[in-house]
Structure formats: structure tokens, C-alpha cells
């Protein structure tokens, strides 16, 4: 693989089959979709997580799924970043976002964690908030008392079409993010997931 910029893309989630389809695990789902679409190598156990490598756009991308449970995500991210000498500015966390409508995507760098335990622990372990976030909208249940059940609940069957469309769009648009064009990445994802007229297809 030619030498080039190395990025660390982290999907946040909880390990185990019982968590696989939960809204909190959409970060895992997104990073798996990217790895599939771009022909990454096999997933291997390293850094208290699962790691796969490949090229996306002009960059070498290390995909990481921490297996530490969400609250300990930093204990996987920090050693992976250290080993591969990836600075926080070249780390992106893919995670569920309550404050975005289902299927919407926003990217940002730094900022608060909005109570997200995976982001909070990454910030603790890296000693900085200056890493990128790909915020994957799962919607808000409407009341704070229902948040935990919503986040740890499985996607409903009715959610399958938009979830699949979102994951495919993120994977297709990923080269824009890898090439340092986060705004273009967001625009492309929005275009790919825009509602179409009934029967018109995509």
C-alpha cells in the first residue's frame, strides 16, 4: 500500500450480538459499511478492538471498532492512535446522535460530547476534544426519561429502509471525508438519502 496520509476512523458501539442492531451501535454499522464498500482487509483483534485497514480516496484508513463497551472506548482508541502515530486531528468518530432527525448526518470537529459516553471517554483518553465526529441521526424519543430505552433499543423493522440508505450513502461518500472535504461529504450523503418521488427509485 503506498505511503500516504493515515486516518483513524472509529465506529462507536457496544460489542456482542445482543447489541448489534441497537441504535447506539450505528457507529459500528457505518464503519462496517465503509470497510465493505472499499474492500478493506479482514477484521483483526488489536488494541482492545477490531481493526481493518484499506484505502479510501487518497488516504490509508484504519477502521476501529472498540470492544471495550461504549464507556471505555478511549482505552481502544488511544493505543491504536499511538501505535499508528495518528494525531487527534486525523481521528474521526462515527456515532449515534439524538439531536439529529433519523437518517441525517452532520460532521464537526471538537466541541462537547452532549452526554455521549463514547465521545466523552475518547476525549478523556486522548486528552483533547480536537477530533472529528460524524454524527449519525437516530432521532430523540421526545422525553429525557425515554432516552436510554431509545438508544439501547433495536431499530424497528420500519427503520430498515432509511438505515440501509444512510449506511450505503456514508460508505459511498466516504472518499470525500478521507480527502479532507467534510462539507462535500455531508452534501453527498444528503443527496444520496434525499426522498424520491414514489416509484421513481434512486
- Across the range 20-47, mean pLDDT stands at 96
85: left (phi over 0), alpha (psi -120 to 50) or beta: left
Whether 24 is catalytic: yes
Whether the predicted pLDDT of 1 surpasses 50: no
State which H helix or E strand residue 133 sits in: strand 132-137
Torsion angle (degrees, nearest 10) of CA 53, 57, 60, 66: -50
Confidence (pLDDT) at 114 = 80
User: Which has the closest alpha carbon to 4: 80, 55, 59?
Assistant: 59
Distance of CA 11 to the CA centre of its chain: 4
Residue written as cell 456482542? Answer: 16
In a domain, 87, yes or no: yes
Confidence (pLDDT) at 196 = 62
**Are the C-beta atoms of 67 and 43 separated by less than 8 Å?**
no
pTM for the predicted model, two decimal places = 0.92
**Residue 4 binned pLDDT confidence (cut-offs 50, 70, 90):** low
In a domain, 1, yes or no: no
- Across the range 36-63, mean pLDDT stands at 96
Q: Residue 44 belongs to what domain range?
A: 6-193
In a domain, 18, yes or no: yes
How many domains does the chain divide into?
1
| Each residue's pLDDT tens digit, 131-170 | 999 999 999 988 888 999 999 999 999 999 999 999 999 9
The most confident of 81-95, 108-122, 133-147, by mean pLDDT = 81-95
**Are the C-beta atoms of 165 and 105 separated by less than 8 Å?**
no
Query: What is the DSSP track for 14-81?
Result: --SGGGTTBGGGHHHHHHHHHHHHTT----EEETTEEEEEEEETTEEEEEEEE-S-GGGTHHHHHHHH
Cα 10 from Cα 179, distance rounded (Å): 17
**Residue 199 binned pLDDT confidence (cut-offs 50, 70, 90):** very low
- Across the range 13-42, mean pLDDT stands at 96
In a domain, 201, yes or no: no
- CATH number at 52 reads 3.40.50.1470
Percent of the chain whose predicted confidence (pLDDT) is above 90: 87
Residue in 24, 38, 116, 150 annotated catalytic: 24
Q: State the greatest distance between any 2 C-alpha atoms of the chain, in Å, as a whole number.
A: 50
Name the more confident of 201 and 41. Answer: 41
In a domain, 36, yes or no: yes
In a domain, 33, yes or no: yes
Confidence (pLDDT) at 201 = 47
| Backbone φ, ψ for residue 112 (5° rounding) | -80, 180
Amino acid at each position: 500500500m503506498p505511503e500516504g496520509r493515515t486516518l483513524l476512523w472509529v465506529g462507536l458501539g457496544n460489542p456482542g450480538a445482543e447489541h448489534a442492531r441497537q441504535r447506539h451501535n450505528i457507529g459500528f454499522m457505518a464503519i462496517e459499511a465503509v470497510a465493505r464498500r472499499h474492500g478493506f482487509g479482514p477484521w483483526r483483534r488489536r488494541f482492545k478492538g477490531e481493526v481493518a485497514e484499506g484505502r479510501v480516496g487518497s488516504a490509508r484508513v484504519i477502521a476501529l471498532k472498540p470492544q471495550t463497551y461504549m464507556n471505555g472506548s478511549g482505552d481502544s482508541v488511544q493505543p491504536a492512535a499511538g501505535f499508528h502515530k495518528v494525531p487527534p486531528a486525523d481521528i474521526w468518530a462515527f456515532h449515534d446522535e439524538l439531536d439529529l432527525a433519523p437518517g441525517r448526518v452532520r460532521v464537526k470537529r471538537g466541541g462537547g460530547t452532549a452526554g455521549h459516553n463514547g465521545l466523552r471517554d475518547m476525549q478523556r483518553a486522548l486528552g483533547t476534544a480536537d477530533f472529528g465526529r460524524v454524527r449519525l441521526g437516530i432521532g430523540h424519543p421526545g422525553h429525557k426519561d425515554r432516552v436510554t430505552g431509545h438508544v439501547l433499543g433495536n431499530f424497528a423493522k420500519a427503520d430498515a429502509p432509511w438505515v440501509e440508505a444512510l449506511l450505503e450513502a456514508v460508505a459511498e461518500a466516504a472518499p470525500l471525508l478521507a480527502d479532507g472535504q467534510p462539507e462535500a461529504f455531508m452534501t453527498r450523503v444528503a443527496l444520496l438519502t434525499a426522498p424520491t418521488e414514489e416509484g421513481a427509485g434512486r
